[in-house]
Amino acid sequence: MTSESSESSESPGSSPSSTGGGLNRRRVLGGIGVGLGVGAAAAAGSLLTHDSDSSGHAAPAAADAAEASQIVDFRGTHQAGIATPAQDRLCFAAFDVTTTDRTQLEAMLGTWTFAAEAMTKGRTVPGDAGDLESPPNDTGEAEGLKPGNLTITIGYGASLFDSRFGLAARRPTLLKPLPQLPKEDLDPGSSDGDICVQACADDPQVAFHAIRNLRRLGTGVVTPRWMELGFGRTASTSPAQATPRNLMGFKDGTRNIDARDAAVMGQHVWIGTEEPQHWVRGGSYLVSRKIRMLLEQWDRDNLNDQQNVFGRTKATGAPLTGTKEFDTPNFSAKDASGETVIPMDSHVRLAAPENNQGLRILRRGYSYTDGIDPVTAQLVGGLFFLAYMKSPDQFVTLQRILGRHDALNEYIKHVSGGLFVTPPGLPADKDWGSQLFG
Ligand code: HEM
C-alpha cells in the first residue's frame, strides 16, 4: 500500500486487509444516493466497514500486493493529494451549491466522504444488482481498473461562507476573493465555485470516474461550475520523482518544495495556529489558475530566448549558471558584458525564494488541452496551475511580481482561477459534512 507516513493514519477497520482483503473494485456502497437526509453519512459509513461478504461478493483470499501499493490512505492528519507524490493525471471540478437546505448539503458531504474513501481503495459505488428498472449507482467505467493511487481532495470557496448555510462564523480568516492582479482578465464563469474537488490518479479514467460519481451523488444539491482535465503532471513534489516537462518543453518542479519535508511543509504549506478557525488548521489554501500557453508563438522562439525566459537550460533543466539540474542558481553571476547570466526578467529569478524573502509555495499543476481554436486553428492548451500554501498572500505576492515583470508573459495568458481552503484530513469518526459544520 502506498502510505504517506508523514500525513496519514488509516482508520481502524478500513484497511484493505481488514475489509476482507479484496482490492479489486468491489461494490460496497449499496443504496448511497443524495437526498438521504440526516443519517446518510452514518449509513454509508457503516456500509463501508462491512467486508465484501456483506455486499454479496466473495472476499478474495489474499490482498494483491501490486494493487495494495496503489492505495493512498484517505484519512489522516492532512488530506491526501497535497503532500502525496504527484500522480500522472488530474480531474478537477468546481461545484456550486444549489440547495438552500443546510441539512441536505451536510448529508451530501457525508455521502461524498464515504464514496470518495471507497473509490480511493479501488472500489466502485454499487448499482442495484439486477434491477433493470433503475440506473446503476456506479457509472461503471472504473470497473476492473486498479486503484491508481487515487486521491480525492476537497476544498471550499469563499462563497460557501455567505449567509445561505450559517457558515459565516466558520469562514477561514484568509479566505476571501483574491485582489485584481497585474495584466489578468479572468473569466468569472469558469472561475471560483462553492466547492472544489481535486481527483488525482495514475489512470485518467480513475480520476474522471471519481469526479463523475461525486457529481452524480450530488444531484439536487450541487451543480458543476467548471471542470478541468490534466494529462501530465508538471511538478515533482519529491526529488524521488523524475522532474516532468511542461508543454513548453522545460523541466518543471526542480525547485519545488519537497513535500516529504515536514518542517518546510509546516512553514509554507499547512495552515497553523496563526489561523483562529481551528477546524482548518492542518489544511492548506489552494490556488488554481488555468494558464494558456501561446504555443505556436513559443515554438517560433529561438532556443536562446526560450532559455532566457526561464533562466534555465532546456535540455538539462540546469540553471544558466550551472551544468546540472539541481545546481543552485547563482543570481549574482554576470557575463563578460556585465549582464546577469540569469536575466533580470527570467521566470526563476523573479519566483525564487532568494529574491522574495524566502517565500515558497507547493506547486502541483498539470498540463491541459482544450483542442484547437475553431477560429484561429491554434492549439489551445497550457498549464493548469495548482499550488498549496499557508496563506493566499504567498501567491498574490509572487503573481504581482510575475504579472508585471516575467518574460514568460509574452507567451502565456491567465484564463481563469480559483481560491479554496482545503481542510485538514479526517479522523476515523468524521466526514466532510461534520467537519465543515462542526
Ligand atoms: C504557464 C505558466 C508557468 C510555467 C510554464 C512555469 C514554469 C516554470 C519552470 C520551468 C520553472 C523552473 C523549474 C522549477 O524550479 O520548477 C518554474 C519555477 C517556479 N515557478 Fe513557474 N511556471 C508558470 C507559472 C507560475 C506561476 C503563476 C507561479 C506563481 C505565482 C510560479 C511559481 C514558480 C516558482 C515559485 C518557481 C520556483 C523558482 C525557484 O525557486 O527557482 N510559476 N516555473
Distance CA 46, CA 249 (A): 48
Q: Which long-range contacts (CB under 8 A, 24 or more apart) does 174-177 make?
A: 174/275, 174/285, 174/391, 174/392, 174/393, 174/421, 175/285, 175/392, 175/419, 175/420, 175/421, 177/419
Closest-lying ligand 1 atom to the alpha carbon of residue 411: 1
pLDDT value, residue 393: 98
> Torsions phi, psi of 177, nearest 5?
-55, 140
pLDDT value, residue 134: 85
What lines the ligand 1 site, CB under 6 Å?
Answer: 246, 248, 250-256, 289, 291, 293, 310, 312, 347-348, 351-353, 361, 382-383, 385, 395, 398-399, 402, 412
Question: What are 383's three cell numbers?
Answer: 498549464
Nearest to 387 by CA among 310, 293, 252, 285: 285
pLDDT value, residue 131: 82
Distance CA 417, CA 196 (A): 12
Contacting residues for 264 by C-beta, under 8 A, at least 6 apart: 257, 258, 360
**284 to 4, 83, 92, 136: CA distances (angstroms):** 17, 11, 17, 36
Closest-CA residue, ligand 1 atom 40, reads 352
Backbone region of residue 409 per phi and psi (left: phi > 0; alpha: psi in -120 to 50; beta: other values): alpha
pLDDT value, residue 126: 61
pLDDT value, residue 67: 77
**N-terminal to C-terminal alpha carbon distance within the chain:** 31
pLDDT higher than threshold 90 for residue 269: yes
The mean of the pLDDT values for the chain is: 87
Side chain identity at residue 293, one-letter code: M
| pLDDT, tens only, 233-244 | 988 888 888 999
pLDDT value, residue 65: 75
Mutation test of ligand 1: which of 385, 404, 410, 414 has the most ligand atoms closer than 8 Å to its C-beta?
A: 385
Question: Mean pLDDT over residues 352-371, rounded?
Answer: 98
| pLDDT, tens only, 314-341 | 999 999 999 999 999 999 999 999 999 9
Mutation test of ligand 1: which of 183, 248, 255, 331 has the most ligand atoms closer than 8 Å to its C-beta?
A: 255
pLDDT higher than threshold 90 for residue 64: no
Q: State the helix-helix crossing angle for 102-120 and 40-49, rounded to 10 degrees.
A: 20
81 neighbors 116 (Cβ within 8 angstroms): no
Residue where the block lists cell 497535497: 82
| Top-confidence residue, 3 or 264 | 264
427 neighbors 433 (Cβ within 8 angstroms): no
Question: How close is the Cα of 260 to the center of ligand 1, in Å?
Answer: 20
78 neighbors 283 (Cβ within 8 angstroms): yes
Strand 195-201 and strand 284-293: the pairing is: unpaired
Question: What are 438's three cell numbers?
Answer: 462542526
Closest-lying ligand 1 atom to the alpha carbon of residue 291: 1
Mapped onto helix, strand or coil, the DSSP state of residue 348 is: helix
Mutation test of ligand 1: which of 347, 364, 384 has the most ligand atoms closer than 8 Å to its C-beta?
A: 347
Lowest mean pLDDT among 126-140, 226-240, 352-366: 126-140
227 neighbors 93 (Cβ within 8 angstroms): yes
Mapped onto helix, strand or coil, the DSSP state of residue 293 is: strand
Question: How close is the Cα of 367 to the center of ligand 1, in Å?
Answer: 13
pLDDT higher than threshold 90 for residue 41: no
